[in-house]
Structures are given as C-alpha cells and as structure tokens.
A and B are shown apart, each in its own frame.
Chain A
C-alpha cells in the first residue's frame, strides 16, 4: 500500500535519527505492508503513538481518539500536526 505523509511543525524534530522519510519537511510517499491504520503509519516513521496529533486524511479531519483504528487505504494523503494553539 502506498500513502503520502506530510509532517508539520515540531513533529519533524520528534523523528528518530534513523527514519524512512526522504524529505522530512515535505510530502513523502511511503510503502506500507499489509493492512494499516494511522498508528501503524506512526510506528513506521518512528513517532510515538501515545502523543496527541491533529490529522487530516484526504482532506477530512480525523479526531485524535480515532487515530487508532482508522484504516488507511492505498493512495491516502495523510497530514499530521502536533497540538497547537493560536497566535
């Protein structure tokens, strides 16, 4: 399965030294094996599944408490953002 992932803000700094993203600040195309949900994608790139995220999948908002169990499909575009307040 192929999905695209974009990380925003401080999430880039939370990546481990060894991560699979070619362009951490841009949009990355990733190959995932088997059926995956968003938590599987987080594990794949090395981000904690215990943190809170704001996520959009194909432009639709996914609540933080729905990230585990929200299945990904081939071609999905995922944007992940850390919790942010205004400014």
Chain B
C-alpha cells in the first residue's frame, strides 16, 4: 500500500524522536495528509489551546499518493491550530520536499512541545535526529537551506524551513521548502517558530509502493492523458495562474485598494503580458515554468527582476532567477495595494520567500494599513516616515522587507490585518474571514466565492471551494450553496490524497482521483467513498473549530462586502448575498441553523 504506515513523533521538549505505526483505521476513514492529520490533531490537543504555546502540535503530513508517480503527487501539508485565525490550519505545499519525506519512509511527522534552544530535524530514511540550529537562527530561508545541504555534504537533501518571520511569530509566517514553495497560509510558520524548530531536512531513498501496480499505472496513465489534453492544463503550463488578472479585473471581482474597488486600472501592468513580454528596457520578467515533484502541469513561474529596477539596482543578491508571481501574489502585492509595477510585486514576493511570509496575508495587511493611512488613522509618525500611500511601489518593497525582518513599522504589519485594524480602532477595515485575509476574488462580484470565504474552515481562502466557472457565468446567488458545498468536499479529499487541487482546473474528475487511490491503497475507494471522505473531513474540521470556540457568527464577511455595493463591473450595485445563501448551505451540510453539526450528520459520517 502507498501509505508507509509510519509516523515520526518528535518531542521537542525532551529532544526525542520515536517511530510509531500509522493508525490505519483512521487512514481508511480520513485518507491522509489534510484529513488524517486533522484527526490526529483533534485527538491529541485541546482545540482551545494557545496556538503558539508548547501544547499546540504541528503535523507535517503526506498523503497516500505523495511520492508516487501519479501526476502532481508531491503534495504535503502542515496541520496545526492556526495563530492567525484560532481555527484549524492546514497549509498545503508542493516542491520536492513532500515526495522526499515519503521516500524516506514516513507518512507524518508530529512535532510536540518546545525546544529550549533552536534545533532542526535531520532525517535520512530511518535515521532521525534533532541537531543544534543556533547558528542558523536569524538566518533567512535562502541563507540556511544551502548551509544545511553543505553541512551534510548532500545537495539532494530537501529542506522545509522558517525565516525570521516565523522566528518572530509573524501571524502569517509560512514554512518554505525548496527555496520558493510554501505551506503559505494561516501562520503555520509561526507555530514552527514558537517551537524553536528552524528546519526539517530530509533525504529519502526507500521508494513508495502501491498495492496493484498494473491498475495503478493504468489509472495514472488515464489521468495524465486527460491532463495532457486539457485546455486548462495548457493554460497553466504556458501562463501559470496570472491570466486570471484580466478576467477578474474585467469582470469586476479583483479586490483593489483593500476592496474599496473591484477593478484595477493598472491591471495591464501586472498581468500575463507584463510578465511575459519585454519591458521598455528589453527585460522580460518571466524566464521559464517550473514543476513540483511528479507534476505534469508545471504552473510555477521562474522569474527575475529587471536589474535596473529600483528594488534590486544595487542589490545583486536579488537579481537571480527565483519563484515569480502567481495570480494571488500579483493581486496581493499589486491590485490590493494599488501597485502597478510587476517587478516591485516580484520583489515583495521574493521577500515573502526569503523571510517566510504568506504573500496574500502580507498584501492584505499592507492594504489595510494603506487605507488606515489614507484616512489619517495611521500617520508617518507611526510608519517612521514611510509614505504608506496606495500605489507607492517603493514603500511596498521597503515595508515587505521590514515585515520579514521584524523592523520598525514592519512589526505592526506582521500582526495581520485583523489585529492591526483592531489596534488602530477600525476592525471593519480588515478584509478577512476568521482573521485570514481575502484571496484575489471579491465576494460581491463572485457570490459563490463570498460564501466560500465565509464558510472556509481555515478563514478566507480561494482553495477550499471551486465556484469560479459559475461565478463568472452569473452573479445570482441561487445555486451557489450546493456548488460550494460539493466542491469543498471534493477538494478536502484531494488535499488528503497527496495530489494537487489544480488538477481540478485541468479536466481531472473524481473518478480519476478515486481510481488512483483505489489502485495505490487497496480496494474499495469508489468515487462515492472518495467524496464522502471529503465530506467527513470537512465536518471534522468544523468539529475542531466548534470545539475551539468558533461559532456561526464567524461564518461571515467584512461589513464592506455585506453592505457597500460593488462600485463597478458585472455586480455593480450589489453586495454579497451571504444572508441569502448561508441558511441553504447549512441545510445542505446537515447542520442546524446555528451552524452546529446535527447528530444524524455526525452519525452518518462516522463522527458521532
């Protein structure tokens, strides 16, 4: 079977590493990665725990298809209680790290407690040990990853680490692996920092088995053929995700200047053309696409900043090729802050990778600070003289670096928009759900996305539901609840399998996922069971959140989205119809009107 059947438990307080068998009864019910790690977390911690205390645990989790040759089978997740939201945090990443961890023979690593001094975990197949990281503490991701490889004299070691943002417990610090892939959202890097765990370095040589080789290869081949022929796959390969910029801006769903507007007049300076065509000096931002472990899509963008651009002009260390803008990053470090400079946004994105921050939350927080500055609540006395005006590309670059390093007003930016706006007395200006900043879609123009944000278990997120096609088809709220609910369930299962959710954008359907899992894990994984597993996982996450103290009152959106009509675009004059959609959504979920899970629903899903 493609589960390795092994969990590494690392007690950072005691400094011990012990191996234990994976709970296979739970694996049959929750599959792996997101679902199974949430089950472990709910069983092992009090959901009311302080996320940054030693009592919280951090689970690094692979899925059964991680490390196999299924296309996109390189995904891994960090699951913990999130410091940004106080809710379940599950942050998913690609790169090479997940496949390497699985190849080393482990499904999960569970970190518990807190080390007295900084450490990193070194794994070489069975061998696991905690090593001193005092000399690495304070270093950036880009500094320490090569240092670790050099120290072990092995360039093929894969590293997941935190930068200074994680050490400083920035609420949206991420865990970066392979230099520019990240478990980005919800502050999982801050939890790692709170445990004084600087990095996880892994080298795996054992391989990953599957139950039925012939059937598995047939299922993988069928999926790969579908991917290969898909128009969505072709678009992702050639252009990445950034073509969405033209769509949302044209449609009127591009959150602009902290959602004051929904169309950005500068979108053509941060779109796919700006990325892939030469600028006035003949420099092209885009170099090539890149792919994660086993991926046949290759949506990643490898880019470099014009060496004449102000952000890198005298800084040759930032003139190299690295992970470039995705649509979300281009939105958050572009339209959200009113900046129409693709190289400035790329630089701010580099800061996120180097110092370990989620670019969506960073951009959302800077956008909130810019609005507070615009209305005079924040002044240059607060910012240390920085002119925090919307559209100021120089200040975007400066404040991003300051947030990463924990310097000056960057410390306030590190709070996240919710705490920042509360600090300055305007909590209504935080464009967030459950404390997590919006992704690149406005919930007025895209009603389904508004519902998806409000109901996402980890706070506002574009990766928890899939209402895109219908949202661009109609702004009417009818029909959105079932679409959001069903896609949440499908994605929860995909996120638990080891595969990438972007396959849903490229023609892959539930039968493809189920057939691959079925062949890899042993029989019985029908499409129906796959979807029901997703529904079980969604409800398990809800159980965690309810036990943590969240209620239906947290399934909401900022006042701006519920009360201020969209100023332009397809939904001009409309607010998000959340009050119309939410009761139907709860009903479809089998929840009470108060958002509690009904006992019959728990019973049906085996959660009671």
Contact = CB atoms under 8 A, between A and B. Distances in A.
Interface of A: 6, 8-10, 13, 25-26, 54, 56, 59-61, 63-64, 79, 81-87
A84 B232 contact: yes
Contacts of A64: 473
B233 to A, nearest CB: 10
Nearest to B235: A10
Chain B, interface SS category: helix
Contact of A87 (B234, B241, B569): B241
A4 B111 CA distance: 58
Nearest to B466: A85
B231 A61 contact: no
Contacts of B238: 10, 13
A82 B250 contact: no
Interface in B249-304: 250-252, 272-273, 277, 299
Contacts of B473: 63-64
A85 B468 contact: yes
Contacts of B466: 85-86
B251 A56 contact: yes
Nearest to A7: B246
B217 interface: no
Nearest to B271: A8
B504 interface: yes
Nearest to A64: B473
Nearest to A51: B231
B327 interface: yes
B319 interface: no
Given A83-B469, A85-B469, A9 B239 contact: yes
A67 to B, nearest CB: 12
B250 A84 contact: no
B502 A8 contact: no
A86 B244 contact: yes
Contacts of A26: 273
Tell which of A56, A59, A86 has the most Cβ of chain B within 10 Å: A86
Given A87-B244, A87-B502, A10 B234 contact: yes
6 A-B pairs with least C-beta separation: A87-B241, A9-B243, A61-B570, A85-B505, A85-B468, A10-B235
A82 B473 CA distance: 12
A26 B273 CA distance: 8
B355 interface: no
Contact of A25 (B273, B439, B463): B273
A58 to B, nearest CB: 11
Contacts of A83: 231-232, 469
B441 interface: yes
B243 A81 contact: yes
Contacts, number: 85
B299 A54 contact: no
Contacts of B244: 84, 86-87
B241 to A, nearest CB: 3
A2 to B, nearest CB: 20
A56 B250 contact: yes
Tell which of B241, B246, B272 has the most Cβ of chain A within 10 Å: B246
Given A10-B238, A63-B473, A64-B473, A86 B505 contact: yes
Contacts of A87: 236, 240-241, 244, 299, 326-328, 462, 502, 505
A10 B239 contact: yes
Contacts of A86: 241, 244, 327, 439-441, 462-463, 466, 468, 505
A9 B570 contact: no
B247 interface: yes
26 contacts: A8-B246, A8-B247, A9-B246, A10-B231, A10-B234, A10-B238, A10-B239, A13-B238, A25-B277, A54-B251, A56-B250, A60-B570, A61-B570, A63-B474, A64-B473, A81-B246, A81-B247, A83-B231, A84-B243, A84-B472, A86-B440, A86-B462, A86-B466, A87-B236, A87-B241, A87-B326
Nearest to B242: A87
B278 to A, nearest CB: 12
A54 B468 CA distance: 12
B239 A61 contact: no
A48 to B, nearest CB: 11
Contacts of B462: 86-87
Nearest to B467: A86
A82 B246 contact: no
Interface in B456-485: 462-463, 466, 468-469, 472-474
Contacts of B469: 83, 85
A69 B569 CA distance: 22
Interface in B554-588: 568-570
Nearest to B569: A59
